[in-house]
Amino acid sequence: MKTILSQVCTILFVSLLLSSCMETKESAKIMPGEIWLDTDGNFINAHGGGMLIYNNTYYWYGEMKSGETYTPECNKEWGGTRVDVTGVSCYSSKDLINWQYEGNVLPVVTDNPGHDLHTSKVVERPKVVYNAKTKKFVMWMHIDSMDYSKASSGVATSDSPTGPFTYIGSTRPNAGFWPLDVSEDDKKDGNLAEDFETGQMARDMTIFVDDDGKAYHFYSSENNVTQHIAELSDDYLSHTGKYKRLFIDRSMEAAAVFKREGKYYFMASGCTAWDPNPARLAVAENIWGPWEELDNPCVGENAELTFISQSTYVIPVQGGKDAFIFMADRWNKDDLKDSRYIWLPIEFGDKDSVSIKWHDEWDLDIFGE
């Protein structure tokens, strides 16, 4: 009896060991487009996401996409599917591969249909930055009405990277301010004059914090036709009134900004709702421009569709030289909760050349020592 028991124990032990090894092996790689599980074994639910690096830890924030995907009447004309809003998730990791769920850090409001965070609204592309002066974690996000006509930016703060975040409110940036370099003729343009009064339309967005601690808000404005860069106040909670129109009439969204060797890079998509299109790339010596547009950096099969995905962020990998990860969403517009993540290493060549190639699976060793 004793021998049988000890044999059973040995078999159990060996199979446990094997399965834990397999798990480690499985989770040691980034596999773009595959189901990505968190350390509890659940699907990572953090779409349109962004990354905060704080105390040697990566925090991944994103839109939670849960429940049924449906097309509301108001969005039927352009096929705009949605899920009801549930909140903003946060995951933490030391290695960018194994992610621990930290919770829903900005839960929705269910009892007030007028609230920006009500389930019927749009809460997209949350980005969190840390303000060293106020010691607050500041989250900016695209806030909209179900039909996307509100076109505003919301802000929330927390004392901890893992929340809870307290929602402050939403705004259309820079009401009462003209953009830098605006001509007298442009000021007479009906749309610009209207936006001067009401504030700037702001949909897809990102926040970039420069080495000197100054934060900038990039957002798709003027009905997604023109990108804006706007300076944030020292506490990162409001706009200073200094802003500029970039890539006029180039229709870009899903902005992601990073800095390498003193140069600023801007990545984005074109405007085709959930459907993929060719990635956009631009480079500048000064964040206010001039920005020079470069070719689509994606190469290989499906490059013209950004590998069937849309940019959301570029991660500067800690401790690596030239180690940047292009982070994108492969949206499943008919079942949004099954949207996947496309993470790929960015390669830098001569001069400003940037390329992104497909990898079925890869790990951080690709960046070298």
Kindly list the residues in this chain that would bind ligand GAL in the complex (CB under 6 A).
Answer: 48, 80, 124-125, 204, 253-254, 271, 273-274, 310
CA distances from residue 274 to 72, 81, 105, 310 in whole angstroms, order as listed: 15, 9, 25, 8
Q: Hey, what are 245's tokens?
A: 């129109």
Q: What whole-number distance in Å separates Cα of residue 38 and Cα of residue 25?
A: 15
Do 216 and 229 contact (CB within 8 A), yes or no? yes
DSSP-derived secondary structure for 29-80: SB-TTS--B-TTSSBP--EEEEEEEETTEEEEEEE---S--B--GGGGGGT-
Q: Give the angle 248-280-194 at the CA atoms, nearest 5°.
A: 25
Cβ proximity to ligand GAL, 73 vs 261, nearer residue: 73
Quote the least distance from Cβ 313 to ligand GAL, whole Å. Answer: 12
Cβ proximity to ligand GAL, 80 vs 107, nearer residue: 80
Query: Which residue minimizes CB distance to ligand GAL?
Result: 273
Residue type at 41 in one-letter notation? G
Cβ proximity to ligand GAL, 131 vs 339, nearer residue: 339
CA distances from residue 15 to 8, 9, 22, 37, 259 in whole angstroms, order as listed: 11, 10, 10, 21, 47
Quote the least distance from Cβ 251 to ligand GAL, whole Å. Answer: 10
Cβ proximity to ligand GAL, 195 vs 204, nearer residue: 204
Cβ proximity to ligand GAL, 125 vs 330, nearer residue: 125
Quote the least distance from Cβ 267 to ligand GAL, whole Å. Answer: 13
Quote the least distance from Cβ 278 to ligand GAL, whole Å. Answer: 14
Quote the least distance from Cβ 272 to ligand GAL, whole Å. Answer: 7
Which 8-state DSSP code applies to residue 11? Answer: H
Cβ proximity to ligand GAL, 200 vs 220, nearer residue: 220
Quote the least distance from Cβ 367 to ligand GAL, whole Å. Answer: 28
